[in-house]
Amino acid sequence: MNQTSLVPGSIAEHTGCLLIKLGQVVFRLVEADLSRLGLRVRHYSILQALADQGSMTQLALGGYLRIDPATMVSSLDDLEHRTLATRVRDPQDRRRHVVELTSAGRRMLARVNGALEDLDTRLLHDLAADERAALHRSLRVLAEGPTLPAALDADRETAPGRVT
């Protein structure tokens, strides 16, 4: 229906504008795909963090994933309702709770990872294999920082209400 670029004309001269638009489009397509499994990207992030790091408090999870407390609570409610994660008393400190991955959560995580791998293959089809690898490396460098994480954290401190 529309043959123009996602980032038409001179707008595409700005790398930032390309990143913004491609991020939005990929987000929309990934969310559409994961909705088949009844999940959103943020649910996947939480399950994967628990698989990578082991049980964590809600606060630690929110800091690790930079998810605000309100979103974290509702996402954990969703996961607990689906029995993919559960809040349990911390065996090391019985006054606090930690979030734990369930075995159903671990099985679901394997399916989501498969879906995400398929999506990468499908959505990045217009790039050659070496271009895809280089893109992946550069995006990882940006994510690891120091520049972007520090800039985001500074903005979160000055304007905590701003939507990410």
SS3 call for 133? helix
Q: Which stretch binds its own copies (CB under 8 A): 47-55, 73-81, 82-90, 91-99?
A: 47-55
Is 22 one of the binding residues for its own copies (CB under 8 A)? yes
Among 39, 43, 49, 72, binds its own copies (CB under 8 A): 49
Angle at Cα 45 formed by Cα 54 and Cα 33, nearest 5°? 140
Which residues are CB-neighbours of 101 under 8 A, at least 6 positions away? 47, 50, 51, 55, 84, 85, 109
Is 96 one of the binding residues for its own copies (CB under 8 A)? no
Is 36 one of the binding residues for its own copies (CB under 8 A)? no
State the DSSP string of 34-75: HGGGT--HHHHHHHHHHHHH-SB-HHHHHHHHT--HHHHHHH
Smallest distance from its own copies to CB 71, Å: 13
On whether the CB atoms of residues 97 and 42 are closer than 8 A, the answer is no
Is 70 one of the binding residues for its own copies (CB under 8 A)? no
Is 71 one of the binding residues for its own copies (CB under 8 A)? no
Q: Tell me the C-alpha to C-alpha distance, in Å, between residue 122 and each of 30, 97, 104, 115.
A: 11, 40, 27, 10
Q: Which stretch binds its own copies (CB under 8 A): 68-76, 78-86, 87-95, 147-155?
A: 147-155
Smallest distance from its own copies to CB 56, Å: 12
Subset of 112-141 contacting its own copies (CB under 8 A) = 113, 116-117, 119-120, 122-127, 131-132, 134-136, 138-141
Is 60 one of the binding residues for its own copies (CB under 8 A)? no
Is 6 one of the binding residues for its own copies (CB under 8 A)? yes
